Amino acid sequence: MKIKKHLYPIMIIVSVLYILYVTYMNLFYDPQATSFLRHKINLQRPLHIPIWLNVMYIHVIFACLAMLAGAINFSKHTQRKFRKFHRMNGYLYVISVCMVDITSGYMAPFSTAGKINSIAFNAVNMIWLAMTIMALVYIKRKQPVKHRHWMVRSYAFCFTNLFIHLFTFILHNGTGLPYELSYTIGVYGAIFTNLVLAEIVIRYIMTNAVNQQEESTA
């Protein structure tokens, strides 16, 4: 019961803290991404670092925008009282997802640990876009419950980077696994966690009674 009440504030706090952390680390503290790039040791193709860095900056900015826009739009207050803002902010979320996907498409072939992670990132590119489009299609068809469910599934992918680094840190620093292996488990672990967390939120945390009522009056 309590988790239902506190989930939204917790999500807002985690998102805002992570946005501040990612922005500070990647745009100010280590703008050359030296600590991340030093692990790229066996790349199949040459990496043009200035281009990669600029793409990464755009990636980070739109990733943070997606995180912020999505978090705001889950607010029941915004959904009810500021419908026009909710709609415009929703389009900002969709555009941001597209920009993260495009930039990810450039970076994926140069992924740390190579092809195994390139494949995973490209798969996420397609899955994430598909989930976001599903959310859009359902609201156009005036099915708010399904819209919300697909938005939860889509929004979970905003935490991809957080989970990758969390898993990598625990495995590499905590258990001493090699960095590349830790990162690979981090990438696949993050995808799995995103998918499972979204289903838990949809099945056990979103209130079905309210959902069904809204669906019938839509």
- Answer for the pair 69, 89: CB distance below 8 angstroms, yes or no: yes
C-alpha 176 chain-centroid distance: 27
36 is a site residue for ligand HEM (CB under 6 A): yes
**In whole angstroms, what is the distance from residue 74 CA to residue 79 CA?**
7
Q: Which is nearer to ligand HEM, 128 or 167 (CB)?
A: 128
**Which of 195, 148, 155, 189 lies closest to 172, judged by CA?**
189
Q: Which of 15, 55, 59, 153 binds ligand HEM (CB under 6 A)?
A: 59
Q: What x/- string results for residues 154 through 183 when contact with ligand HEM is judged by CB under 6 A?
A: ---xx-xx----------------------
Window 100 to 119, contacts with ligand HEM (CB under 6 A): 100-101, 104, 107-108, 110-112, 117
Q: What x/- string results for residues 118 through 157 when contact with ligand HEM is judged by CB under 6 A?
A: ---x--xx--x----------------------------x
Q: Which of 56, 71, 191, 198 binds ligand HEM (CB under 6 A)?
A: 56
Interacting residues with ligand HEM (CB under 6 A): 22, 26, 36, 56, 59-60, 63, 66-67, 100-101, 104, 107-108, 110-112, 117, 121, 124-125, 128, 157-158, 160-161
